[in-house]
């Protein structure tokens, strides 16, 4: 199989400087999807140099806001034009279903349109009252400069858009390194940026491993901002390298997210059905490979037996298979490494006393489920507690753990008993209780009687070890800007502080 050039520097598609390539695998059958360029530190340096020149000497940072906004809108239109193509790329590369891929493209489109709108709706600056008619004082925003962007393998296109759209809206240049496991949709997005008319050097991509490419982008002295989405261990290491160079940083490092279900949410058949359905969605969308997955079900003791029995019954019926096949509801895990990790978490939970209610194994092969694919059955583990590894750590797989509570205070304590704080949910038929509990949860996003929706106009990010900074919303744009205070004395005169 011939390789494609997936390194884009200063407007040119290139092979890796060292001539290396990498196989990108289809997780449904472990066959090779594509050979791509495997970049290294030399490629990262070249990309940063191009971004530096484009920022310091090029037109993009000084391009009128209206023109930047118009380009983002053109990109949004191109995304919709290529919706089916990109959805197929995302499905085959990550293993998710084709329908999930389509949803991702629509969400990415909305992100580009949102930042096109928000940057246009801003005034020329915030006037600050200096207390004198002889002073004109204003706070304005300017682009940060060169941004290095690192994105994860589970939502490669979506996470890229959350960084690229505000970076461009603010007038920055960037170098992006997608996950080496799932780089293909990000490569396509860079092609759309070029087609939309983005000047050479503004958008650069280097495909390759975290070591050395990601590390170099984190520590590079010519980078002004480092934005990373991924795991806690690798993110903190890269963040430390970036901080040592006094860069601005933004880190989204995952979560261990509680889904709290009160008995009053299940008081009617309709309420019970909704809560069970949402618990399935919370845990098993994209085979649980979601940073905000509701992997911890925290259920009121009085309804636990009925709820978990129904949850397990439905989980066993989830249709696993190749994401491009009709009727498939859940695809494979992304890699053999991730499959091994999930199997190890389940084994440790059972050794620590958890009760297996369903799943806990690889499913039997079928026409839509090749034996060589990285499939794992949706798994429900009952009787779990805080000391278990599966409760404390982010599993990133189709594993749902069950904990119980008797009182509202206990429910809140369990939900907050995590070093992460990305997202969580409360299901209750009592509006006052639901809002009260939501207010007490130490998580960046809290859903009430729902799970997983997000809005591009609302900030996304977490408390605790879930990260630093926010994406999306007005704050997501501010991450990519510097504030400057301009103080103008309209009637200058001597101060006479010094007698001479």
Pairwise CA distance, residues 233 & 24, whole Å:
24
DSSP label of 111: H
Answer for the pair 374, 338: CB distance below 8 angstroms, yes or no.
yes
What distance in Å separates the CA atoms of residue 389 and residue 375, rounded to the nearest whole number?
A: 22
CA–CA dist 164, 109 (Å, integer): 12
User: What φ, ψ does residue 431 adopt, rounded to 5°?
Assistant: -60, -45
Q: Is the peptide bond before 171 cis (omega within 30 degrees of 0)?
A: no
83-94 and 65-81 helices, crossing angle to 10°: 70
d(CA 480, CA 499): 45
Among candidate residues 252, 403, 471, 479, the one labeled active-site is: 252
Q: Are strands 146-150 and 173-177 parallel, antiparallel or unpaired?
A: parallel
Strand 248-252 and strand 467-468: the pairing is antiparallel
CA distance 283 to 297: 9
Q: Alpha-carbon distance 380 to 368, whole Å?
A: 23
Mark whether 343 is an active-site residue: no
Which residue blocks in 208-303 are alpha helix, DSSP H? 215-219, 232-243, 269-284
| 252 classed as catalytic | yes
Instruction: Kindly name the residue from 147, 291, 330, 358 that is annotated as catalytic.
Output: 291
- From the number of C-beta atoms within 10 Å of its C-beta (0-12, 13-18, 19+), residue 194 rates as middle
CA distance 400 to 293: 9
Helix, strand, coil in percent for the chain, rounding step 5: 40, 20, 35
| Positions marked active-site | 252, 291
């Amino acid at each position: 199989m011939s390789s494609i050039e997936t390194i884009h520097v200063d407007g040119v598609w290139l092979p890796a400087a060292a001539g290396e390539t990498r196989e990108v695998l289809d997780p449904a059958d472990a066959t090779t999807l594509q050979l791509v360029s495997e970049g290294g530190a030399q490629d990262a340096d070249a990309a940063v140099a191009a971004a530096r020149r484009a920022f310091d000497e090029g037109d993009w940072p000084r391009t009128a806001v209206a023109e930047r906004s118009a380009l983002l809108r053109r990109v949004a239109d191109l995304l919709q034009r290529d919706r089916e193509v990109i959805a197929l790329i995302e499905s085959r590369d990550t293993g998710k279903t084709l329908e999930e891929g389509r949803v991702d493209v629509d969400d990415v489109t909305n992100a580009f349109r949102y930042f096109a709108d928000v940057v246009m709706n801003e005034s020329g600056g915030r006037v600050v009252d200096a207390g004198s008619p002889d002073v004109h004082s204003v706070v304005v925003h300017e682009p940060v400069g060169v941004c290095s962007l690192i994105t994860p393998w589970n939502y490669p296109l979506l996470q890229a858009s959350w960084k690229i759209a505000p970076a461009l809206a603010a007038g920055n240049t960037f170098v992006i390194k997608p996950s080496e496991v799932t780089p293909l949709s990000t490569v396509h997005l860079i092609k759309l940026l070029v087609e939309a008319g983005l000047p050479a050097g503004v958008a650069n991509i280097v495909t390759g491993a975290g070591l050395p490419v990601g590390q170099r982008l984190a520590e590079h002295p010519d980078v002004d901002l480092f934005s990373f989405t991924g795991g806690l261990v690798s993110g903190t290491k890269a963040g430390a390298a970036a901080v040592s160079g006094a860069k601005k940083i933004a880190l989204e490092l995952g979560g261990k997210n509680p889904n709290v279900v009160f008995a009053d949410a299940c008081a009617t058949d309709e309420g019970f059905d909704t809560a069970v359905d949402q618990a399935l969605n919370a845990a098993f969308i994209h085979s649980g490979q979601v940073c905000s997955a509701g992997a911890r079900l925290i259920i009121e003791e009085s309804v636990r037996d009925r709820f978990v029995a129904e949850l397990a019954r439905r989980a066993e019926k989830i249709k696993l298979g190749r994401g491009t096949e009709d009727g498939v509801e859940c695809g494979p895990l992304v890699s053999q490494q991730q499959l091994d990790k999930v199997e190890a978490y389940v084994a440790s939970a059972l050794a620590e006393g958890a009760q297996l209610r369903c799943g806990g194994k690889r499913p039997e092969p079928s026409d839509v489920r090749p034996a060589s694919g990285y499939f794992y059955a949706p798994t429900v583990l009952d009787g779990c507690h805080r000391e278990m590894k599966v409760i404390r750590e982010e599993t990133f797989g189709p594993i749902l753990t069950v904990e119980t509570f008797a009182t509202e205070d206990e429910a809140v304590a369990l939900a907050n008993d995590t070093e992460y704080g990305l997202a969580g949910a409360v299901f209750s038929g009592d509006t006052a209780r639901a809002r009260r509990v939501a207010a007490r949860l130490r998580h960046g996003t809290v859903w009430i009687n729902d799970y997983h929706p997000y809005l591009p106009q609302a900030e996304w990010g977490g408390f605790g070890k879930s990260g630093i900074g926010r994406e999306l919303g007005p704050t997501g744009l501010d991450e990519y800007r510097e504030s400057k205070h301009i103080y103008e004395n309209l009637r200058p005169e001597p101060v006479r502080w010094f007698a001479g």
